[in-house]
Amino acid sequence: MSLVVQKYGGSSVADADAIRRVAKRVAETRQAGHDVVVTVSAMGDTTDELIDLSNEVSGREHPREMDILLTAGERISMALLAMAVRDLGVGAQSFTGPQAGVITSGAYGRARIIDVAPGRLRQTLDDGDVAIVAGFQGLNQETQDVQTLGRGGSDTTAVALAAALEADVCEIYTDVDGVFSADPRVVPSARKLDVITYEEMLDMAASGAKVLMPRCVEYARRFNVPIHVRSSFSGLTGTMVVGHPEGTEGEETMEQPIIAGVAHDVSEAKITVIGVPDIPGSAARLFEAVATADVNIDMIVQNVSATHTGVTDISFTLPTAQVAAARAALEADHEAIGFRELVVDDTIGKISLIGAGMRSSSGVSAKFFSALRDAGINIEMISTSDIRISVVTRAELVDDAVRAVHTAFGLDSTQGEAVVYGGTGR
């Protein structure tokens, strides 16, 4: 018997039929002898509807009240799911984040989980019941108010509960079959990964893969919680996200693929700051200004400055939604930074190749760039980490670029797998 934490997103509990389907899976897991804790999101579009309602009433910012409002969504879905599970003859009780012992801190709307006091959930499991917990929320002990966790909050709740309860696995149910070597909508031959490391998954998520949010993977890595990403519709085995499948951790995973997958992202824009004085401290001043606007910088490139001009250009990428805030922050600090002008480009796209195996495998970069060249893709920015290479190109070329790279690394499901396994020295 093991302890399983399951998380179901909004689309998995969108209506009464969907809730009964989820209940069936929960009940079957319990009836198979496992202890079960379920984390559930708000039904379908409930959260958006509540946001719309608040805009109708006010439209201004009321962070504390907004969090109280939004938590009504999970309250509804968790109670209904508990009813449906009980109807199947399995004991179940629902709990809000505060009731479940999820302790948060930080700002309303994007609080962090700082602790989980799982006493009440443990008691529920000891009583033989399934515990159904509202995702996306917790109690701020200082204010005694509920807070929401922001995007990816329900996944993070599930992982945090799994860590606190020392669960054997945290199953994240979603509308896809698992983590794929590329977005199947772009690459029809993309293949489902059986296993991926936390580090690879983090880089995949940060590079545009939507299946898991980075914060959830980060939490899982810190507490070494195995995540099983799987479909709530098909029931098939999905993708395991784990710590160290390769090397000394176990014989069965010796053949670690070099490349996990290709991710892409067209939701970013590029700001080029032209004519920045090429003196020490310029970049610091520039990015301090952007940081005050709470903007998430991704890639940064500084041109090699032309001799004698004394000025240079700095480009960085950021979420398109944050362009206005970044621009305002830079212009407010225009004189101190001393740039000539700002150029915004929101038609960029990013392609990333991710794989822990590239640490110890040679020629990966060369093969990546030549695949892009052969596909006629012009590269505008490059950034690399030890398990990732990312390039920026035109948004309209991204799909072609992803397909070209996917094929070049032998990731297509019709290709042999040998190419991407093994290897030594990058």
Q: Which is nearer to its own copies, 70 or 211 (CB)?
A: 70
3-state SS of 117-158? CCHHHHHHHHCCCEEEEECCEEEECCCCEEEECCCCHHHHHH
CA 119, CA 303: separation in Å to the nearest integer?
56
Ramachandran angles phi, psi of 417, nearest 5°: -100, -15
Is 185 annotated to bind ligand?
A: yes
> Is 210 one of the annotated binding-site residues?
yes
- Measured CA to CA, the distance from residue 149 to residue 135 in angstroms comes to 9
Task: Report, in Å, the least distance between residue 98 CB and its own copies.
Answer: 9
- The residue among 57 and 279 lying less far from its own copies, judged by its C-beta, is 57
**What is the closest distance, in whole angstroms, from the C-beta atom of residue 96 to its own copies in the complex?**
8
The answer to the question of whether 59 is labelled as a binding residue is no
Q: Where are the beta strands (DSSP E) in 175-250?
A: 195-197, 227-231, 239-242
What's the closest the beta carbon of residue 170 comes to its own copies, in angstroms?
24
Q: How far is the CB of 135 from its own copies (least distance, A)?
A: 15
Closest separation in Å from C-beta 42 to its own copies: 10
242: β partners: 197
| Residue placing its CB nearer to its own copies in the complex, 94 or 256 | 94
Q: Is 350 among the annotated ligand-binding positions?
A: no
Residue closer to its own copies (CB basis): 88 or 114: 88
157 is in an annotated binding site: no
Sign of the Cα torsion 208, 11, 60, 147 reads: negative
The response to whether 10 counts as a known ligand-binding position is yes
Name the residues that contact its own copies, by CB under 8 A: 15-16, 19-20, 50, 53-54, 56-58, 60, 62, 64-66, 68-69, 71-73, 75-76, 78-80, 82-84, 86-87, 93-94, 96, 99, 120, 144-145
97 labelled ligand-binding: no
**Cβ atoms of residues 22 and 232 within 8 Å:** yes
Nearest approach, Cβ of residue 326 and its own copies (Å): 28
The sign of the dihedral angle between the CA atoms of 378, 339, 385, 152 is negative
Among 239, 271, 273, which residue's Cα sits nearest to residue 257?
A: 239
Q: Which residues participate in the annotated binding site for substrate?
A: 47, 74
Binding residue ranges for ATP = 7-10, 174-175, 185, 210-211
Binding-site residue ranges: 7-10, 47, 74, 174-175, 185, 210-211
